[in-house]
Amino acid sequence: MTALTVRLPNSVHEKIRELAARDNISVNQFIASAASEKMASVMTLDYLQREGALGRREDFDRFLKTVPNVPDAHDKA
């Protein structure tokens, strides 16, 4: 495990302490979890952009033609 010094505004640190206490976890656990969630979000966006770049309009159009043309459930009301 790596130790890391992070400078935070006092107001942010205090709010992190409050939220960590509310969840019965340490400030370290809270920050590690928050960093992991952000990392997963960025990695997911990167993955989706890479996959999207591989897509072809012709394939999308062909797939869309297989979807039945039926009214939306909200349109029935």
Q: Residue 24: left if φ>0, alpha if ψ -120 to 50, beta else—which one?
A: left
DSSP tag of 19: H
pLDDT of residue 74: 78
Rounded (to 5) percent helix, strand, coil in the chain? 70, 0, 30
Helix (H, G, I), strand (E, B) or coil at 70: coil
Q: Is 32 exposed, middle or buried (0-12, 13-18, 19+ CB in 10 A)?
A: middle
pLDDT of residue 69: 87
Beta strands in 1-77, from DSSP E residues, in sequence order: none
Per-10-residue mean pLDDT of the chain, 77 residues long, equals 93 98 97 98 97 92 92 73
